[in-house]
Amino acid sequence: MVQTIASVGLPIDEMLMIQKNRLIPQSGLSGNEKRISIVTGTHGDELEGQYVCYELQRRIKENEECLTGIVDVYPSLNPLGIDSITRGMPGFDLDMNRLFPGSENGSMPEYIASQIINDLSGSAAVIDIHASNIFLEEIPQVRINELSQDTLVPLAKLLNVDYIWIHSSATVLESTLAYSLNIIGTPTLVVEMGVGMRITKKYGDQLVDGIFALMKELGIWSGEVPTPKTPIISEDGEVSFINARKSGVFVPSVEHWKNVKKGDHIGDILNPLTGEIHQKITSETDGIVFTLREYPIVSEGSLIARILA
Amino acid sequence: MEEQIFFELNSVYRDNMRIKGYTFGSGEKSACIVGATRGNEVQQVYICSRLINILGQLEQQNKIKDGKSVTVVPCVNSHSMNIGKRFWSTDNTDINRMFPGYDLGETTQRIAAGVFKNVSNYKFGIQFTSFYMQGSFIPHVRMMKTGFEDIELAKDFGLPYVFRREARPYDTTTLNYNWQIWETKAFSVYTNATDSIDTNSAAEAVNAVLSFLNKQGIIDYNCHEGYISKFIDGQELVNVKTLTAGFFIRYAQVNARVKKGDLLAVIADPYTGEVTDRITSPTNGIVFFHADQPVIYSHTPLYRIIPTDDLI
Ligand SMILES: [Zn+2]
């Protein structure tokens, strides 16, 4: 059943609507069912979650008799952004993931943020699916603020991702959807996978397997589920960053999610005008490349890779 | 006057971006003034150019006090300004959300670090900046509640109001906040225009800064000292919003004195012209802020009013 959880008038004959689809057990609701919420599309240029929303519902509908709880699917928290290929909220130039928990009496984006929080709160779990950005490719991973690791790591292990990154807390992140929900006791897992403006079907299928495993654990699904893979779990200290020292065109010489040794060639930053190599990039550590630059043009400082020791 | 390059970003496809600082006088790092951090803040660069011009004249007349120095950084984001973008030209990040910066981090973190290294350790920090929503304000000095803010000192600008608001989580990465954390007394000066030049408003801002520097004994400048500033706390303001979208036809302008019940604006249907909402003032007061878009979304804050007792 499609429901509109917030709607706002746009100036010229148009309503902005935030919608969800609710799937419930065939036998109806007793009032004691748990609810899982799948949200995505906060950043309008991140599309990996769109396929997940579809595929999850397709598989549920194939075995509807196994559904024993509520599944709420929110494909686009920032519909104007997705429609106009804009990362933030068009018209405001705002990153929507810096507005939560929002405010009922605030501006239009703050009002929408508050309605989203109201609707999601009370879920047994919320999965907030992101897709990096157009610049970087990420292996399927869950990112967890160290403050909520005790609650979230056991849930994240079920999600069939390759990697769980427990990061330190930062004040600026207190305005994210995940932080705002976790703080009010609604467990929220942030998934990052793939790359902006694309759909990586393999990753989507992998995450949907994981969502079923989590639903089974929460008592929302009674059917068979695949055994989730065992993720690598790490904290900040084990991650090393490679940033460009020069501007130019980055051409990688490693593959994503492959092991590298200290001194291995990661890639080159080229100058197309002079035909020179501006920077030859080598790994400073043994490890696995879990983030790799996808967009070729780089400036000084652009992130090239993250390596997990 | 000494012109220095504080930070230079190399580029393959365009000219390097140079962030320049202009220093007057020598000795103690007395005051630092920063203009545009965003590519649309043209008025902010204009104000800085006026200040650089006048401080140069004062320096020639030996009116910068001995042992004091003032640095002006007119623009930290010329690459975006030159292509008409508000945020960073490639990844759309906001340099004013990257402080104190990180010199081994992403591009805009490096820019912020390069700027902060050169603008910190001053006694006073003054930033000209713009609001995230489109609109007009009564000129004011704006500060965040951090525990370090100095309201009495802010009144030395002689602008009509000193405004203090609560800090939000994402404010912790602004220049103003980091100045304060690192013991620079920081002030943000808001004037009327952003993406156009308003020479009157700029002259008022220039006068406010010079008057402030004069009162702190940094320069010798005989000028009109402006207003006796009134302090207002963010929570005191009365917000007026509409739940209707459409044309925003404004009647009450900034600085207007309004009575409870006065018509401030109407919202009209964009096709039929029918008035869909009449916006009236919920209080006696003075218009501190109004939105100025021709068309508005529903839930848009339209006015912020300073409540007053006066019976007019
Ligand atoms: Zn995202």
* Residue A32: φ, ψ to 5°: -105, 5
Centre of ligand 1 to C-alpha A176, Å, is: 10
Two tokens, residue B152: 């009495």
For residue A98, list chain B residues with Cβ-Cβ distance below 8 A.
170
Model ipTM? 0.88
Q: Where are the domains of chain A?
A: 2-230, 238-308
Residue A216 sits at the chain B interface (C-beta within 8 Å):
no
Contact yes or no for B299 and A108 at CB 8 A: yes
Percent of chain B with pLDDT over 90: 88
According to DSSP, the residues that pair with B247 across neighbouring strands are B268, B295
Residue type present at position B283: T
Among A11, A87, A299, the residue with its CB nearest the CB of B11 is A299
Average pLDDT, chain A: 96
What's the pLDDT at A81? 96
Q: Does B251 touch chain A (CB under 8 A)?
A: no
Hey, which CATH number is domain A2-230, 3.40.630.10, 3.20.20.70, 3.30.1150.10, 3.30.70.3400?
Answer: 3.40.630.10
Residues contacting residue B41 through CB under 8 Å, at least 6 positions apart: B35, B75, B81, B128, B129, B130, B194, B195
What are the pLDDT digits (tens) for A250-278?
999 999 999 999 999 999 999 999 999 99
User: Per-residue pLDDT averaged across A284-303, rounded?
Assistant: 96
Dist. CA A38–CA A128, nearest whole Å = 6
Checking if the pLDDT of B218 tops 60, the result is: yes
Model confidence, pTM = 0.92
Average pLDDT over residues A114-122: 98
Q: Which CATH architecture has domain B2-232?
A: 3-Layer(aba) Sandwich (3.40)
Cβ within 8 Å of B, A 108-147: 108, 111, 133, 135
pLDDT in tens, B39-95: 999 999 999 999 999 999 999 999 999 999 999 999 999 999 999 999 999 999 999
Task: Compute the nearest-CA separation of B134 from chain A (Å).
Answer: 9
**CB atoms inside a 10 Å sphere around CB A171:** 14
Residue of A8, A299, A304 to mutate when probing chain B, most B C-beta within 10 A? A299
Q: What is the pLDDT of residue A94?
A: 86
Q: B146 CB near a chain A CB, below 8 Å? A: no
Q: What is the least distance, in Å, from the CA of B293 to any CA of chain A?
A: 11
- Give domain B237-307's CATH architecture: Beta Barrel (2.40)
A238-308: CATH class: mainly beta
User: So where are chain B's domains?
Assistant: 2-232, 237-307
Q: Residue B239 pLDDT > 80, yes or no?
A: yes
Q: Residues near A80 by Cβ (< 8 Å), separated by ≥ 6?
A: A16, A44, A86, A89, A90, A91
